[in-house]
Structure formats: C-alpha cells, structure tokens
Amino acid sequence: MYQLRDYQQEAVDATLRHFRHSEAPAVIVLPTGAGKSLVIAELCRLARGHAMCLTHVKELVEQNHQKLTNFGVDGGIFSAGLKQKQQDKRLTIASVQSLVNHLTDWHQPLSLLIIDECHRIGADTESQYHKVIEHFRQLNPSLKVLGLTATPYRLDNGWIYQQHYWGFTREAPQAFFQRCIYELPLRRLVKDGYLTPPLLYNAAVAHYDFSAVTESVIEDEVMLNELVLKHPRVTRAICEQILTLSEQRQGVMIFAATVAHAEEIFLYLPSKETALITGATPQTQRDELIRQFKDRQIKYLVNVSVLTTGFDAPHVDVIALLRPTESVSLFQQIIGRGLRLAPGKKDCLILDYTNSGFDIFQPEIGGTRPKNTELVSVPCPQCGYQNLFWGRKDSDGNLTEHFGRRCQALVETLHGEEQCDYRYVFKHCPQCQAENDIAAHQCHQCQHKLIDPDDTLKKALNLKDHLVLRCQGLTSALEGEKLTLRYVDEDGTELKQSYRLDLKKDLLRLNQEFMRRMAHGAVPVEISNSKDLAPFLPYLPAPDFVIAKKERGHFRVTELIFDYQGNLRKANCL
C-alpha cells in the first residue's frame, strides 16, 4: 500500500472539498516529479463510481498504468497504440485519440474524469478532449472533471483556469477550467528534498541569436535551419562546452531546434555514447534507444520535440537547451526532465543557449511579455491586493511602467466571490461614465455600444476641420483655479486645453481623465482645488492621441485617447 506525502494529501483534500460543493471543472498544479500518480491513485480509490484517467500519448498511458499497478491499483488500459481496449475495470487509463474514436462503445457513466497534462485542452469545443467530456457528461450530468498539470498555461490562450484558490483571478474568460484548487510551488519541492535543485549555468561560450524569432518562425523548420546551420562554429563551441561541463555527469539530454540541427549536434558528440531521436525514428528503435539511455549504456540523448512529456529518466543531471521557444509551458516541461531524484545526483545543470530569459521557479505570464520587462508587484488601491504584472523599473528599482489592466484579486461580494473591479487602464462609457476594459465593445454596466478608438481616429483624420495630434508629451501651467495643458506632437505642433477647477464639470473631467490614471492607475488621486493639484503637476499622464475640432479659427480639444492599443503608431514608437 502506498503512503501519500504531505502535499499529495493536501491535493487530495482540496479536491474532495471542491467537489463536495461544486461541479465546476478544477485544476491541480503539481511540478514534474511531484508524484501525481499517487494523487490519481488515491482519488480513484475514493471515487464513488467508475473513474478514468485521460492523457494524450501511449507512453503516458503505459507510465501511469505501471505506477498505479505498483501502488496496488487495478486499472484497465484503453489505447490502440498499446493494443488494449479494456472497459471492465473500475478505473481506466485511456488515450484521448483512441477513446474519441470509440465513444459510442462507452455506455458506463463516470463519476470522475481526471485529465493528465490538462494544459492541452484549448478553447476549441470541437477538440477531442471536449468531445470526450461532453460524451461522459451526457451519461452523467454530475460528472466531476479534474485536470492535472505542471504548466497551467498555453501559448495561444494563456492561463487554463479562471480563478485561483489563493484569492485572485486570471485573464482567461474562455478557459475550460473554472478554478485552480491546489498548486505546489517548485521551490517548495526542491527545498523539502523531493526534487533535485536546478542549477542554471551561465553558458556564455556561445549563443544562437534567436532574438527575432517568433512562434511562427519556431514552427518553420526551413527558417530555423537557416538560423542555426549558418553558424556551425557556434554549434561546435556549444557541444565542446557541453562535453566539458558534463564530464562528471550521469545523463545529458539535448533539445535541438530541427532534425538537421540535431544531426549536426550528433556529429560533435562521442558516437558510441550518443543517441538521436526525432519524430521520424521508428517506434521500436526509439524504445530501444530510450532503454539504453535509461540503463546508462549511452550518456547523451539528442532529440527534436519528442521527449518533452511522458519521458522519465531520473538520472538525467544535464539539460542543454539549443532550441528556441516562446512557450513558458514547454520550457518548464523540458527543465522538468532533469529534476527527479536519483542516487548520486546532487543537482541538475541547466544550459540555456537560447537566452530564453524564463525564471525556472517563477515563470509567470500575463499575456504576451513586452520587451525588456520583468515581473513587478503592483498594489490595488481599492482592495490592497499585490498584483504581479509585466513592468519596467528604473536604475533605482522604482516602477516606471506596468502592463496590468485590472486587479486580479477575488473579493467577497453580495453575490459571492467576484473579481475586484478596479481597473488600471480603462475607457469611460460616454453614456453612464462606467469604467470598461480598453478592448470592450459594449459597456458592462449600461450595455451602451462603445466606439473603437481606431474608428474615432480614422473618422477624425478624414474630417477637414479636425486635427489628430500624436501626443509626445504635455506641459502644464496653473494660474489660480485655471489649469492650462499644452499637448505636443513629434513635429512640435501644439494644442491647448484649459480646466476651471472652480467648475464642478471641469473638476470631474480632470479627475476622471488624469488624476485617476496617476502612476499608471496604481495611485489614483482625487483633487478638489488648485492647492490639491499643485504637487501632482509634474506627473500628469499624457494621452496617446488628442483630437481637436476647428471652431472660429481655433482648435478646441474634443477628445483625449489614453491607453491606446490599436493599429496606429503612437509617438516615439517608430
């Protein structure tokens, strides 16, 4: 009989608590090597009816079944690749590809459906996973769906769940999973001695220049070959360093960009100690090479996109990354290949020759990462929650810019837990003045249609009596209760706008348009008079565009556009 570790029991308890009160799909996040098979075994033991563990490759089906068998759990296999299609067990371990083609043969309702590597579930409701889930929901409307993953995000959609039990939300309204109910940080596993410490080595001998590579290029083998094969000296120098650094190491996994690149790497490594596996390697040959590597008959294993998941060789203590990726998930999966414990293994050397810049312990994302940014903590002025956003700091460590839109905290309301409604960037509804997301097309409060800033700008550009100024900055002058702002574009063109602080209408506009946006929305200010305003004059935020209409020979400012993210170029963005 197996014995659960403390965090495995915590994951099981969290699952039981959640499904006692909810049928919403849930996620558990456990790093690679945390022993999720034990969690699966215990949950299936506790399930009141039939249970299924679903995954995407036969290697994981076989691996999960073997581990569950070792724990004394009797489960069946449903996988064409393994030539088994058992349906008579209380627990079935199945591959999604095999199952989706035989759904009409399944009439037994499930009480629990566990999806391993659940980050593979996308937004497409016609995908294989969604078809399987819908089939079993038809058989049992109260079906409990639990996802397990080490990497709860996707390159195309971002986070795979909407809410986190730590009390915050994710910008993932289309995510299938509603809530992350348990997450185990990688750092805790390493600290408690359950995983090998990763040692990120500054491999400065040579790097590939992947700075201009986008995800579309990553998928284009011809273009990648042009990038890596035109620098044979770089590849040779890298391989020489790998050999030197791994001289006293047990097992080395090398991740190449393309098949041609992998073949080149293979030439620079000892032929009798090296194996090469690609997608074209026959299955029987692949299995034999993997066996030899696990038995330590060979030391260096070069592969191209085939050993990132479902591969378990605990003795691996060097990971060499020679392929580019914009996927944090893929990066973590690759690193995870080397973090399992093994006799004589003190740490795992991580050699990143691509300058990916990902943090092994905290690979947070929040949409696409802007250039030259880092994770910054931004407090919510409304609820006090410390948000993590991409942002920039100056040389003294002061926050100069962040890219958060809305506070991510979950707060208690009369309707239960809801996301905090504080927005750092927003656009006002002209009908009710409610603050909406900058990409919203309809006001969330009064449902008034919101005009796209691009449409507003294009219309103004086509009108002879209108001027659109691409604002580079502003200057201010305060005389008594009158504030005068001068907006300047890149060519030196100016527009002036005045606010009378003794008029309620002007004061309200100034507070809404400028003071609310102080420090990128992180420190909103409300003023009542010129005395309140004076200290903040040097810090007033400049709009991205200023629209003015010509009246009686002079231009009058009619609209300010802040936080613009459309198709037109902003000032200083050549």
DSSP string, 502-565: TSHHHHHHHHHHTGGGGGGGTS----SSHHHHGGGGGGPPPPSEEEEEEETTEEEEEEEE-S--
The contacts found for 9-18 with CB under 8 angstroms, 24 or more apart, are 10/182, 10/184, 11/39, 11/182, 11/184, 12/39, 12/42, 12/43, 12/46, 14/165, 14/181, 14/182, 15/43, 15/146, 15/181, 15/182, 16/46, 17/181, 18/179, 18/181
pLDDT for res 234: 82
pLDDT for res 508: 93
The answer to whether the Cα torsion of 130, 132, 135, 136 is positive or negative is negative
Average pLDDT (488-517) is 93
Q: Is the fold of 6-184 the same as that of 192-352? A: yes
pLDDT for res 221: 56
Residue 294 and residue 315: Cα distance in Å, rounded? 8
Greater pLDDT, 101 or 226: 101
Greater pLDDT, 206 or 552: 552
Residue 184 and residue 163: Cα distance in Å, rounded? 16
Tally of CB atoms within 10 A around 482: 14
Average pLDDT (459-470) is 93
The CATH number fitting domain 6-184, selected from 3.40.50.300, 2.60.40.10, 1.10.260.40, 3.40.50.460: 3.40.50.300
In sequence order, what are the residues at sequence separation of 6 or more whose Cβ sits closer than 8 angstroms to the Cβ of residue 340? 32, 33, 195, 196, 312, 313, 314, 316
The answer to whether the Cα torsion of 183, 188, 193, 198 is positive or negative is positive
Residue 516 and residue 562: Cα distance in Å, rounded? 12
CATH classification (class only), 192-352: alpha beta
Average pLDDT (195-214) is 67
Mean pLDDT of the chain: 87
Percent residues over pLDDT 70 in the chain: 91
In sequence order, what are the residues at sequence separation of 6 or more whose Cβ sits closer than 8 angstroms to the Cβ of residue 223? 217
pLDDT category at 223 given cuts 50, 70, 90 is low
Q: Does 239 score more than 70 pLDDT?
A: yes
pLDDT for res 215: 47
pTM: 0.70
Residue 344 and residue 365: Cα distance in Å, rounded? 35
CA distances from 15 to 8, 87, 109 (A): 11, 25, 20
Q: How many CA atoms lie within 13 A of 381 on its CB side?
A: 14
Residue 421 and residue 435: Cα distance in Å, rounded? 9
Q: Are strands 399-402 and 51-55 parallel, antiparallel or unpaired?
A: unpaired
In sequence order, what are the residues at sequence separation of 6 or more whose Cβ sits closer than 8 angstroms to the Cβ of residue 138? none
Rg (CA), the chain: 28
Percent residues over pLDDT 90 in the chain: 49
**What region, left, alpha or beta, does residue 480 occupy, with left being phi > 0 and alpha being psi -120 to 50 degrees?**
left
Residue 61 and residue 44: Cα distance in Å, rounded? 15
pLDDT category at 228 given cuts 50, 70, 90 is low
Residues facing residue 145 across a β-bridge: 113
Instruction: List the domain boundaries for the chain.
Output: 6-184, 192-352, 374-419, 445-561
Greater pLDDT, 154 or 243: 243
Which helix (H) or strand (E) element contains residue 495? strand 494-500
Helices 58-70 and 36-46 meet at what angle, rounded to 10?
70
Contact 169, 421 (CB under 8 A): no
356-413 per-position pLDDT tens digit: 767 777 655 545 677 788 888 899 999 888 888 888 988 888 888 888 888 888 888 7
Q: Are strands 75-79 and 84-85 parallel, antiparallel or unpaired?
A: antiparallel
Contact 333, 269 (CB under 8 A): no
320-333 per-position pLDDT tens digit: 998 877 677 778 88
504-551 per-position pLDDT tens digit: 999 999 999 999 999 888 888 999 999 999 999 999 999 999 999 999
pLDDT category at 458 given cuts 50, 70, 90 is very high
Phi and psi at residue 178, to the nearest 5°: -80, -35
Q: Does 281 score more than 70 pLDDT?
A: yes
Average pLDDT (479-498) is 93
pLDDT for res 213: 46
Query: Helix and strand tally (H, E) in the chain?
Result: 15, 30
Q: Does 171 score more than 70 pLDDT?
A: yes
pLDDT for res 240: 92
Q: Are strands 144-149 and 51-55 parallel, antiparallel or unpaired?
A: unpaired
What residue spans of 442-499 are helical by DSSP H?
Answer: 453-461
